[in-house]
Amino acid sequence: MKLHEYQAKGVFADAGIPTPDSELAETVEEVVAAADRIGYPVAVKAQVQVGGRGKAGGIELADDEDEARSAAESILGMDLKGYHVDRVLVEDAVDFTNELYVGVTMDRGEGKPVAMVSTRGGVDIEEVAAEDPDAIAREHVDPSFGLHPYQARRAVYDAGVEDAVARDVASVLTTLYQLWDGRDGADAEINPLMVTAADEVVAADAVFNVDEDALFRQPEMADMEEESASGDELERKADEYGFDYVRLDGNVGIIGNGAGLVMTTLDLVDHYGGAPANFLDVGGGAKAERVSNALDMVFSDPNVDSVVFNIFGGITRGDEVAKGINAALEGFDEIPDPVVVRLAGTNAEEGMEILNTDLVEVESTLEDAVQRAVELATEVEA
């Protein structure tokens, strides 16, 4: 579960990490009022849970009321990488000399938490990790002892952080580790941690993802989830329908019954040169209502250009699934994206005969179905 930037900043600030003065706003007037209170210049930042908002036009700096107004007008209501922006964070714009990165996550390879520092902040840290892994200083942590003070200092020193702020950066890293550990974090990240001309450090961005399986013992985090879930229409829908759903950034919608089957379909879409738009497991028993809810999910994603439906009939027989798919598609006035179906297992033959080929394309192997869906998605793109 991901916190919004404003929520993560609240958690960080409460723990003593310096953050800019800020206020959440939902309308242009609220933005202007907030900016007035905070004082210009301000940064107006879209509150959606995706990285790279800066490059995508979701962050603007404003020096006066006119600029704040026009920033608010262009960001509020915009579509940012498929997310509707309904709130912005208005914050004191930091005048910085340097952008650092600090982060804590689980290093699965080592089986240990890892605390990281880099002087190459402000850009996508995954890119830095791929191009120049030595630019990120890493300290593995024994969770029963926590991050030792000498480790925090060594990470800061190894990263080459300037002396004037070294002590402060080590202290931010220590606090970030304590939050990650104490609040059941999955990833905690400040990118950028800005260095100001006065040699102070300020968390200009904040990421905090919580381990969902620990939410039962993190009531404060669970409350924030409710607040943040309202941001994404599709994830809220998935919750309502009771689906396991993960949104991805491609354009081939994927529906299957069983997590393994869906994962396999995802891999095959990638294998044939396509890009999956989502993971969606409808679970056992593909009754018409569940099928139609699943289709509603993928059709509502504006990024989807084609859909592949991969069903393995076990206890649920193929002919029943086929009836479900027909009934679901007949319920739509217009089918927004082409749907390719592959049925296998119990009564698959009967199912394929029942499927209404005016509404769907039918393929007898998974490979063919995936290739066809990738082809259809590419045609739409072109």
Instruction: Look up 101 and say whether it is catalytic.
Output: yes
54 in contact with ligand GDP (CB under 6 A): yes
**Considering only residues 23, 60, 99, 168, which one is a binding residue for ligand GDP as defined by CB under 6 A?**
99
**122 — alpha (psi -120 to 50), left (phi > 0) or beta?**
left
118 in contact with Mn ion (CB under 5 A): no
Nearest 5°: phi and psi at 303?
-80, -15
> Which tokens go with 96?
């910085």
Give CA–CA dist 352/341, Å, rounded. Answer: 9
205 in contact with ligand GDP (CB under 6 A): yes
- Pick 22 or 293: Cβ nearer ligand GDP: 22
**Considering only residues 103, 185, 192, 276, which one is a binding residue for ligand GDP as defined by CB under 6 A?**
192
- Pick 205 or 363: Cβ nearer ligand GDP: 205
> Which tokens go with 323?
């009836």
Give CA–CA dist 255/245, Å, rounded. Answer: 10
93 in contact with ligand GDP (CB under 6 A): yes
Residues in the interface with ligand GDP (CB under 6 A) total 15
**Considering only residues 191, 209, 218, 278, which one is a binding residue for Mn ion as defined by CB under 5 A?**
191
The site partner of 261 among Mn ion, ligand GDP, none (C-beta below 5 to 8 Å per kind) is: none
147 in contact with ligand GDP (CB under 6 A): no
Q: Collapsing DSSP states into helix, strand and coil, what is residue 219?
A: helix
Give CA–CA dist 272/365, Å, rounded. Answer: 14
**Considering only residues 53, 87, 183, 323, which one is a binding residue for ligand GDP as defined by CB under 6 A?**
53
Residue holding tokens 């009836």?
323
Looking only at residues 192 through 211 of this chain, which bind Mn ion when binding is defined by CB under 5 A?
Answer: 205
**Considering only residues 3, 17, 24, 59, which one is a binding residue for ligand GDP as defined by CB under 6 A?**
59
- Pick 82 or 122: Cβ nearer ligand GDP: 122
Contact 22, 6 (CB under 8 A): yes
Handedness of CA 21, 27, 66, 71 (dihedral sign): positive
Which among 22, 14, 378 is positioned nearest to 224, based on CA atoms? Answer: 14
The site partner of 277 among ligand GDP, Mn ion, none (C-beta below 5 to 8 Å per kind) is: none
90 in contact with ligand GDP (CB under 6 A): no
Cα pseudo-dihedral 201, 191, 42, 88, rounded to 10? -140
Residue holding tokens 């045609």?
379
Which among 229, 258, 228, 232 is positioned nearest to 243, based on CA atoms? Answer: 258
How does strand 83-84 pair with strand 79-80? antiparallel
The site partner of 345 among Mn ion, ligand GDP, none (C-beta below 5 to 8 Å per kind) is: none
Instruction: Look up 67 and say whether it is catalytic.
Output: no
- Pick 202 or 322: Cβ nearer ligand GDP: 202
Given the residues 139, 189, 320, 363, the one annotated as active site: 189
Minimum CB separation of residue 55 from ligand GDP in Å reads 6
18 in contact with ligand GDP (CB under 6 A): no
CB atoms within 10 A of CB 296: 14
Contact 46, 85 (CB under 8 A): yes
Residues found near ligand GDP in the complex (CB under 6 A): 43, 51-54, 59, 61, 93-94, 99, 122, 191-192, 204-205
Catalogue the active-site residues.
101, 189
| Chain positions contacting Mn ion, by CB under 5 A | 191, 205
